[in-house]
Amino acid sequence: MAIIEVNQLYKTFRVHKKEPGLWNSVKSLVSRKFQTVEAVKQVSFQIEEGELVGFIGPNGAGKTTTLKMLSGLLYPTSGKAEVLGYIPWERHDAYRRQFSLVMGNKNQLWWDLPAIESFLVNKEIYAIPDKAYHPLVDELVTMLDVKEKMKVPVRELSLGERMKLELIAALLHSPKVLFLDEPTIGLDVISQKKVRDFICTYNKTKKTTIILTSHYIGDIQELCDRVIIIDLGKIIFDGSLKSIFNQVAEYKMVTIDFSDSISKEQLESFGEIIRMTDSHAVLKVKRAEATRISTQLLEQFEIRDINIEEELIEDIIRNVLSGDKVVRS
């Protein structure tokens, strides 16, 4: 069953255009010039209940604008959308009680107060009964390991700690749909991993439908089986990560640990050498040749370990967005 249905969603903005300089600033007070910017162009997709979908693209592609329309924060210029059977921009109270929007560069927690105070405010806003509120807070705090940070003023928390508490605040009313806009932006590697693990576990246990935007491909690769790629306001791919690999990836990476030292000359005939040390090497080989080349390596050298991996997803997505590769949904 489709929880989110988007059909030909279109959004433009009228932007004031001003030439640089003091005199042009004065002229713009009397006579202003405007241009129309197309942020989202005829976007259509469906998302089923419980799906965790990656929504990716470069800056200015239309990701955040789309999420804001699905959250009811923006009205579309044209097109239709339904989330949980509601039209988001009609802002029905029943709908607002069933979704959450978390933006990595926006705070909902009160800056000068401990997070627990903001939680209590949300508790009252959403009329969450005590018998549901306290067990849920305990569960989320335990999952994100922030029990000791609950009573610390938000301004004194690290970015990673703050994001974890932002997630808890967004989940107190147990939303059925969760929009995550860059939830790991600016976080260190450890904090990114903890947030990813939490999102994955929460999605699987609560069956919450999630749309995730991120510039960290690691977020998408670890969490999402399906991705929607948007560029210049248009969807250019909607399908599985596996499908992207099958259509676009031309190479695989073969990592070898040798029992003895080996020279560059001995490996050059097998593929492109990405990096190597005396007894370790990473080769880039044609996808169709990976198994054959690995077999030859095992036959010709004493090898402790060998591993075949897909090409880096960052490189594949970059090729798709640059137009070097064309993918079919």
pLDDT (tens, 9 = 90+) of the chain, 329 residues, equals: 789 999 999 999 988 777 777 777 777 777 777 788 899 999 999 999 999 999 988 888 899 999 999 999 999 999 999 999 999 999 999 999 999 999 887 888 998 999 999 999 999 999 999 999 999 999 999 999 898 999 999 999 988 899 999 999 999 999 999 999 999 888 888 888 899 999 999 999 999 999 999 888 788 888 999 999 998 899 988 988 888 777 777 788 899 999 989 888 889 899 999 988 888 999 999 888 989 999 999 999 999 999 988 776 667 777 777 765 556 66
Report yes or no: 77 and 233 within 8 Å, Cβ to Cβ. no
Could you tell me how far CA 155 lies from the centroid of its own chain?
Answer: 26
Predicted local confidence at residue 324, as pLDDT? 59
Give pairs for 103-106: CB < 8 Å, separation 24+. 103/64, 103/181, 103/182, 104/163, 104/181, 104/182, 104/183, 104/184, 104/185, 104/186, 105/182, 105/185
Predicted local confidence at residue 329, as pLDDT? 62
Q: How far apart are the first and last CA of the chain?
A: 20
Whole-number Cα distances in Å, 94 to 68, 88, 224:
18, 11, 28
Predicted local confidence at residue 59, as pLDDT? 85
Predicted local confidence at residue 328, as pLDDT? 65
Report yes or no: 212 and 224 within 8 Å, Cβ to Cβ. yes
Domains defined along the chain, listed by start:
2-245 (3.40.50.300), 250-310 (3.30.70)
Task: Work out whether strand 52-56 and strand 226-231 pair parallel, antiparallel, or are unpaired.
Answer: parallel
